[in-house]
């Protein structure tokens, strides 16, 4: 069933939802949808509407048949060091698929990429578009809050719950407690510097490793999410 993102405050089965122009274009010109085809619209805040599409002369709307409220489970927060464009895009896409609710991107000491304020704004816009596409594809009804932070300290201010900084020299984590939120801090290709790791530890982060292998930066956030979702989230 095709899915489209469209922000709406609330929905019921009585009021049709008018689709935005880009969704109408995609439905008509790309997907070649016809009157009465099944469709789903989600608002990025946990609500989705299933129904049928109706095309009019200059707009299209969804006739609701079912309203779905997706409960918010384990909250995952990703602090990701800025990396090269293609890697960063891939990380954003896969982080959405694995259920990260917050993504805070920051420049690191060993990172090779730097962004001006203007470029950072454009990059966040691009990441948000990637997030919409990823959530449309994977069935996630919550869009992550993506932000670019000017420093590691600024990114750490958005950390919540149980906090980990991933490091090959960290320790494995084992606890019977079940957190409601988990934050993972991931470094660039060369890893976070000892100074950065110590800064996070002093802020209440655990230095943690995921097994005995050294993971690439684009793998670490995904492995961490899988670890958390399996222990405490919706992989159970």
Task: Write out pLDDT tens, residues 49-85.
Answer: 999 999 988 889 999 999 999 998 999 999 999 999 8
Sheet holding 60-69, edge to edge: 3-5, 38-42, 47-55, 60-69, 17-18
Give per-residue pLDDT as tens, 187-223. 998 899 999 999 999 999 999 988 888 899 999 999 9
Handedness of CA 184, 96, 146, 64 (dihedral sign): negative
CA angle 215–220–226, rounded 5-degree value = 125
Q: Where in the chain is the domain with CATH 2.40.240.20?
A: 3-69
Three-class secondary structure of residue 9 per DSSP: coil
Q: What CATH class has 75-232?
A: alpha beta
> Class assignment of domain 3-69?
mainly beta
- Residue span(s) of the chain under CATH 3.40.1280.10 come to 75-232
Strand partners of residue 100:
76
First to last CA, the chain: 26
Q: Which backbone phi and psi does 160 adopt, to 5 degrees?
A: -140, 155
Residue 174 has pLDDT above 90, yes or no: no
What predicted TM-score, i.e. pTM, was given to this entire model?
0.91
Contacts of 15 (CB under 8 A, 6+ apart): 64
* Crossing angle for the helix pair 85-97 and 117-138, to the nearest 10 degrees: 40
Residue 11 CA to residue 209 CA, distance in Å, equals: 43
């Amino acid at each position: 069933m095709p899915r489209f993102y469209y922000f709406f405050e609330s929905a019921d089965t009585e009021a049709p939802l008018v689709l935005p122009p880009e969704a109408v274009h995609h439905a008509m010109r790309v997907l070649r949808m016809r009157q009465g085809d099944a469709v789903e619209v989600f608002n990025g805040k946990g609500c989705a509407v299933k129904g049928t599409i109706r095309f009019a002369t200059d707009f299209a709307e969804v006739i609701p048949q079912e309203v779905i409220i997706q409960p918010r489970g384990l909250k995952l927060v990703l602090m990701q060091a800025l990396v090269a464009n293609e890697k960063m895009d891939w990380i954003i896409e896969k982080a959405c698929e694995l259920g990260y609710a917050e993504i805070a991107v920051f420049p690191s000491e060993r990172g090779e990429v730097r962004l001006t304020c203007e470029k950072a704004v454009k990059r966040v816009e691009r990441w948000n578009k990637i997030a919409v596409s990823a959530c449309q594809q994977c069935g996630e009804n919550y869009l992550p809050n993506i932000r670019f932070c000017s420093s590691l300290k600024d990114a750490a201010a958005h950390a919540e719950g149980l906090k980990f900084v991933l490091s090959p020299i960290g320790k494995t984590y084992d606890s019977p407690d079940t957190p409601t939120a988990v934050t993972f801090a991931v470094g660039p290709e060369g890893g976070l510097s000892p100074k950065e790791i110590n800064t996070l530890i002093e802020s209440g982060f655990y230095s943690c490793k995921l097994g005995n292998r050294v993971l690439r930066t684009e793998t670490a956030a995904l492995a961490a999410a899988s670890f958390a979702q399996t222990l405490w989230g919706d992989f159970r």
